[in-house]
């Protein structure tokens, strides 16, 4: 009987691979190239051991520990330990995102669009689709592990040896397997793709925050987080394999649980029941904006809480910065104070750039929800009423802009609340708001790209995420890797003045706002004229 439940799993594996014949290779190539580019950059960044040890001292900074993880191998900070310490966590998060999105695409998303029901009408086992998804994602993560491991080794960098490179790749592959299992589990608990992605990203976010707090204040707490397990491998230094085995073992247990739950539940349902709505809709739902808000209310609340907690987690380490620098002679020489500004204020500029880009994620998701509604054929009943296309698109864009501002503000307030409680000489809320809200024009440009792609060609909405991902790479790693300045200018975030260290250029901000408006107008014109998917 159990054998019948897996009937035709092999055919579904080929079906998934055919559907993702472009998507999966792009993920694999992008992650591998990003890793190789970073590794080769590290080998040429520092001319001698003294410079490498100087950067190692900066890694002892509590704020940097919260961002990239607890330092190891700092006594001999060669390219290998530097690569693992500064890039393993960041790359693991990207691999986790890949797994979450691909698993949701072939499970909950296919169920909601009726594709699984169509497949199940054929002689296909009950567990065939979810098993095929699990096997494809396992193969994808294993292939990624091998690609990264041998690519790093073949660079020929002395401290990036074969054993460490294999462990580096295995750590990333294990992370992908863990979040494959997590997403499969939530695909059984939730009744829709939004819930699946939302719960999976919640686990990822909490994993990062718990690890950050644990690495700074309580090492035991870090071992609660799967991202903490991965960093516990201490790649290229001690090369501990047991955290990888722990991650894989946990992933297997979670995946088996997901398969068991999938065998029990009805198609289209979830173990977390959907609350029944009110018998009569409120007047608020009579507008496209009200409907858009209602559909995403839970996600909005969850993201708002998450952004506030993100700000608090970063703000909680600011109190240690001045003490750390004043007690470290090498750091004092490496980072001389800028006249008129404290070290915390200088560090705040980088922090605001990172927070602003993270706060761009939820408003883009809120906007691109319109594309999902179109794919599912939910727009036809709305547009058949006295609702224009411009009003419909404008409602989702307005929702994105309003909550983009709210998300960024909440993160800034969270940062200020935590910083105010730990700093001897706290920075005013007004200064935090000024340094953070100046990034709104960059956020609006990314939103404008989303509107333009929805209006012209919805299949190109991935460009929005590509621009945001590129921006994060060049802004977050640009200074560390000494990337050319022109690379930063290709990102809207690269034109934002770093307040309070830099003066505000109102002309630059006005140009960014103009570009955002132009992109939005192009999107509205295209959306008004193009065909809506049936």
Per-residue DSSP letters for 178-216?
HHHHHHHHHHHHSSSHHHHHHHHHHHHHHHHHHHHHHHH
Q: What is the CA radius of gyration of the chain?
A: 24
Q: Is residue 216 part of a domain?
A: yes
Per-residue pLDDT of the chain (534 residues; tens, 9 = 90+): 566 777 888 888 999 999 988 889 999 998 998 888 888 877 666 656 776 776 777 667 676 777 777 878 777 778 888 888 888 888 999 999 999 999 999 998 888 878 888 888 888 888 888 899 999 999 999 999 999 999 988 888 888 889 999 999 999 999 999 999 999 999 998 888 878 888 898 899 889 888 888 887 778 888 889 999 999 898 988 899 999 999 999 999 999 999 999 888 887 777 777 766 677 767 777 788 888 888 888 788 888 888 888 888 777 766 656 555 555 554 454 455 555 566 666 777 778 888 899 899 999 989 988 888 887 777 888 887 888 888 999 999 999 999 999 999 999 998 888 887 767 777 788 888 888 899 999 999 999 999 999 999 888 888 898 898 888 888 776 666 667 777 888 889 888 888 877 788 889 999 999 999 999 999 999 998 888 765
Tokens coding 103: 């698993």
Is the pTM value of this prediction over 0.85? Answer: no
How far from 344 is each of 102, 214, 335, 419, CA to CA, in Å? Answer: 40, 22, 12, 10
How far apart CA 505 and CA 495 sit, in angstroms, is: 9
103 contact partners, CB below 8 Å, separation of at least 6: 133, 137, 179, 180, 183, 184, 187
Q: Is residue 367 part of a domain?
A: no
Q: Is residue 359 part of a domain?
A: no
Q: Is residue 445 part of a domain?
A: no
Q: Is residue 491 part of a domain?
A: no
Q: Is residue 151 part of a domain?
A: yes
Q: Are 312 and 286 in contact (CB under 8 A)?
A: no
Secondary structure (DSSP) of 250-311? HHHHHHHHHHHHHHHSPTT--SSPPPP--SS--GGGGSHHHHHHHHTHHHHHHHHHHHHHHH
How far apart CA 160 and CA 173 sit, in angstroms, is: 18
Longest dimension (CA), the chain: 75
How far apart CA 75 and CA 52 sit, in angstroms, is: 10
Q: Is residue 456 part of a domain?
A: no
Its domain, for residue 70, covers: 1-271
How far apart CA 402 and CA 304 sit, in angstroms, is: 12
How far apart CA 280 and CA 236 sit, in angstroms, is: 62
* Phi, psi dihedral angles at 333 (to 5 degrees): -75, -35
458-490 burial, b at 16+ Cβ within 10 Å, e below that, comes to beebeebbebbeebbbbbbbbebbebeeeebee
Number of domains in the chain: 1
Q: Is residue 235 part of a domain?
A: yes
Q: Is the bond into 151 cis (omega within 30 degrees of 0)?
A: no
How far apart CA 28 and CA 181 sit, in angstroms, is: 19
């Amino acid at each position: 009987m159990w054998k019948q439940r897996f009937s035709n799993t092999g055919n579904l594996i080929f079906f998934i691979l055919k559907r993702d014949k472009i998507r999966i290779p792009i993920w694999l190539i992008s992650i591998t190239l990003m890793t190789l580019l970073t590794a080769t950059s590290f080998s040429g960044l520092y001319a001698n051991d003294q410079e490498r040890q100087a950067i190692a001292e900066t890694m002892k900074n509590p704020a940097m520990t919260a961002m990239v993880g607890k330092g190891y191998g700092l006594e001999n900070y060669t390219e290998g330990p530097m690569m693992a310490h500064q890039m393993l966590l960041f790359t693991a998060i990207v691999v986790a995102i890949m797994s979450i999105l691909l698993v949701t695409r072939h499970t909950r998303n296919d169920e909601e669009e009726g594709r699984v029901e169509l497949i199940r009408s054929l002689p296909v086992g009950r567990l065939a689709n979810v098993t095929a998804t699990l096997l494809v994602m396992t193969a994808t993560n294993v292939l990624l592990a091998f690609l990264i491991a041998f690519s790093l080794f073949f660079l020929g960098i002395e401290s990036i040896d074969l054993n460490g490179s294999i462990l580096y790749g295995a750590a990333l592959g294990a992370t992908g397997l863990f979040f494959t299992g997590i997403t499969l589990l939530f695909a059984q608990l939730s009744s829709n793709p939004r819930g699946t992605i939302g719960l999976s990203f919640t686990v990822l976010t909490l994993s990062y925050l718990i690890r950050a707090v644990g690495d700074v204040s309580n090492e035991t707490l870090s071992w609660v987080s799967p991202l903490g397990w991965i960093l516990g491998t201490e790649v290229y230094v001690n090369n501990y394999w047991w955290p990888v085995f722990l991650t894989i073992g946990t992933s297997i247990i979670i995946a088996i649980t997901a398969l068991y739950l999938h065998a029990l539940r009805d198609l289209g349902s979830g173990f977390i029941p959907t609350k029944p709505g009110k018998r009569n809709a409120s007047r608020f739902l009579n507008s496209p904006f009200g409907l858009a808000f209602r559909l995403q209310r839970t996600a909005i609340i969850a993201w708002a809480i998450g952004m506030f907690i993100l700000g608090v987690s970063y703000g909680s380490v600011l109190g240690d910065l001045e003490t750390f620098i004043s007690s470290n002679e090498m750091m004092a020489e490496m980072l001389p104070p800028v006249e008129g500004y404290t070290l915390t204020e200088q560090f705040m500029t980088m922090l605001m750039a990172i927070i602003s880009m993270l706060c761009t994620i939820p408003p883009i998701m809120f906007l691109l929800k319109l594309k999902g509604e179109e794919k599912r054929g939910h727009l036809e009943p709305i547009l058949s009423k006295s609702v224009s296309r411009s009003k419909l698109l404008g409602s989702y864009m307005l929702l994105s802009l309003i909550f983009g501002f709210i998300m960024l503000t909440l993160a800034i307030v969270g940062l200020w609340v935590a910083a105010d409680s730990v700093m001897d000489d706290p920075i005013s809320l007004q200064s935090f708001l000024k340094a953070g809200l100046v990034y709104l024009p960059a956020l609006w440009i990314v939103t404008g790209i989303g509107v333009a792609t929805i209006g012209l060609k919805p299949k190109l909405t991935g460009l929005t995420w590509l621009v945001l991902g590129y921006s994060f790479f060049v802004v977050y790693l640009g200074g560390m890797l000494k990337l050319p300045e022109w690379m930063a200018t290709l990102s809207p975030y690269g034109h934002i003045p770093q307040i309070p260290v830099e003066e505000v250029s109102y002309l630059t901000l006005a140009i960014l706002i103009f570009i955002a408006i132009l992109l939005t107008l192009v999107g509205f014109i295209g959306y008004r004229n193009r065909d809506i998917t049936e």
